[in-house]
Structure 1
Amino acid sequence: MKLGQYDTFVVCDWDNLKDAFANDALLARPAKGFISGIEETLSVIAMSGDVWREHRRLSLNFLRNVGLGKREMETLISEEIHQFLSSLEDDANDLPQRLMPSVSNNIAALLFGRIFYYDDPDKIMIDQGVQRFSESFQLTGILSFFPWLIKPLIALGKANLKVISKTHQRMHAFISKEVLAHKNKVKSTEIEDYIDEYLNAQSKRKDNLFKDMTLRRNVVGFFVAGSETVTSTLTWAIMYLVQYPQYQEKIRSEIQEVIGTEKRPDFSDRLRMPFTQAFLYEVQRIESVVAFNLIRRASQDTKIGPYNVPKDSLVFFNFWSVHHDPKLWPNPDKFNPNRFLAENSTKVVKPPYLVPFSAGKRACPGEGLANVELFLYTVGILQRFKIKSDKPLSFDAHFGLTRRLKYKPDLIFEKYLSNNSI
Structure 2
Amino acid sequence: MFSIDNLFESQPLVNTLIGIALFWLVKYLFYTIKRIRSLPAGPWGLPIVGYLPFIRDHTYLEFDRLSKKYGPVYCLKLGVYGVVLVCDWPHLKDAVSNDALLAKPHASLLPGGGEGRSLGEMSGSPWQEHRFLSLHILRDIGLGKSTIVTLVKEEIDQFLTTLDNDGKPVDFKKKIGHSIVNNVSILLFGHKYDLNDPAAIEISAANDEIGSSLNFAGVMAFLPWLSSFVFKFKFINLTRLIKCFQIVDSHIQNEIDKHQEKNSQEVVDYIDGYLAEMKKREERNQIDDNFSIEILKKNAGAFYGAGTAAVSSTMEWIMVYLVRYPEIQDKIRSEIADVIGFERRPDYVDRIRMPFTMAVIHEAHRIGSVAPNNLLRRASSDTKIGNYNIPKDSLVIFNFWSINRDPKLWPNPDKFDPTRYLTEDGSKAVKPPYLIPFSAGKRNCPGESLANVELFLYLVCILQKYRVKVKPGTEISTEATFGLSRRPSNLPNLIFEKISNSDLS
Indicate the TM-score class for this superposition, using the shorter chain for normalisation: over 0.9
Aligned AA for 2:402? S
> Out of 286, 296, 301, which is 1:220 matched to?
301
Structure 1 segment 258-297 matched on structure 2, within 5 A: 258-297=339-378
Structure 1 segment 133-212 matched on structure 2, within 5 A: 133-154=210-231, 155-158=233-236, 161-188=238-265, 190-205=266-281, 206-208=286-288, 209-212=290-293
Structure 1 segment 47-86 matched on structure 2, within 5 A: 47-86=122-161
> Out of 393, 403, 406, which is 2:476 matched to?
393
The 3-state SS of whatever aligns with 1:152 is helix
Q: C-alpha offsets along residues 40-81 of structure 1, whole Å, 9 cap, x if unaligned? A: 310001111100000000111122221222212111100110
> Out of 467, 473, 489, which is 1:406 matched to?
489
Q: C-alpha offsets along residues 114-173 of structure 1, whole Å, 9 cap, x if unaligned? A: 000122222121111111101101122233211112133333453x64433221122111
The 3-state SS of whatever aligns with 1:348 is coil
C-alpha distance in structure 1 between counterparts of 2:155 and 2:364, whole Å: 23
**Gap regions ≥5 residues in structure 2:** 1-75
Equivalent pairs: percent with the same residue?
Answer: 50
Aligned AA for 2:500? L
Does residue 1:119 correspond to 2:184, yes or no? no
C-alpha distance in structure 2 between counterparts of 1:311 and 1:164, whole Å: 34
* Displacement over 6 Å in runs of 4+: none
Correspondence for 1:107: 184
Does residue 1:416 correspond to 2:499, yes or no? yes
C-alpha distance in structure 2 between counterparts of 1:73 and 1:402, whole Å: 25
The 3-state SS of whatever aligns with 1:311 is coil
Q: For the aligned residues, what is the CA RMSD?
A: 1.5
Q: Which has the larger radius of gyration?
A: 2
Question: TM-score with structure 1 length normalisation?
Answer: 0.96
Correspondence for 1:374: 455
The 3-state SS of whatever aligns with 1:270 is helix
C-alpha distance in structure 2 between counterparts of 1:39 and 1:20, whole Å: 31
Corresponding residue pairs, total: 418
Does residue 1:250 correspond to 2:319, yes or no? no
C-alpha distance in structure 2 between counterparts of 1:2 and 1:64, whole Å: 41
Correspondence for 1:326: 407
Please state how far the C-alpha of 1:418 moved relative to its aligned partner: 6.2
The 3-state SS of whatever aligns with 2:484 is coil
Question: TM-score with structure 2 length normalisation?
Answer: 0.81
Aligned AA for 2:488? L
The 3-state SS of whatever aligns with 1:404 is strand
Q: C-alpha offsets along residues 325-377 of structure 1, whole Å, 9 cap, x if unaligned? A: 11111111111000000040001101100010000000001000000000000
C-alpha distance in structure 1 between counterparts of 2:432 and 2:114, whole Å: 37
Aligned AA for 1:63? L
Pair 1:162–1:304, CA change in 2 (3 A): farther
Correspondence for 2:69: none
C-alpha distance in structure 2 between counterparts of 1:119 and 1:92, whole Å: 18
C-alpha distance in structure 2 between counterparts of 1:386 and 1:340, whole Å: 24
Contact 1:33 1:47 in 2 (8 A): no
Contact 1:33 1:39 in 2 (8 A): no
Please state how far the C-alpha of 1:416 moved relative to its aligned partner: 1.0
Which stretch of the first structure deviates more once superposed, 147-156 or 55-64? Answer: 147-156
Which stretch of the first structure deviates more once superposed, 303-312 or 201-210? Answer: 201-210
C-alpha distance in structure 1 between counterparts of 2:227 and 2:97, whole Å: 32
The 3-state SS of whatever aligns with 1:170 is helix
The 3-state SS of whatever aligns with 2:419 is helix
The 3-state SS of whatever aligns with 2:162 is helix
C-alpha distance in structure 1 between counterparts of 2:169 and 2:150, whole Å: 24
Q: Which has the higher contact order (CA 8 A, sep 6+)?
A: 1
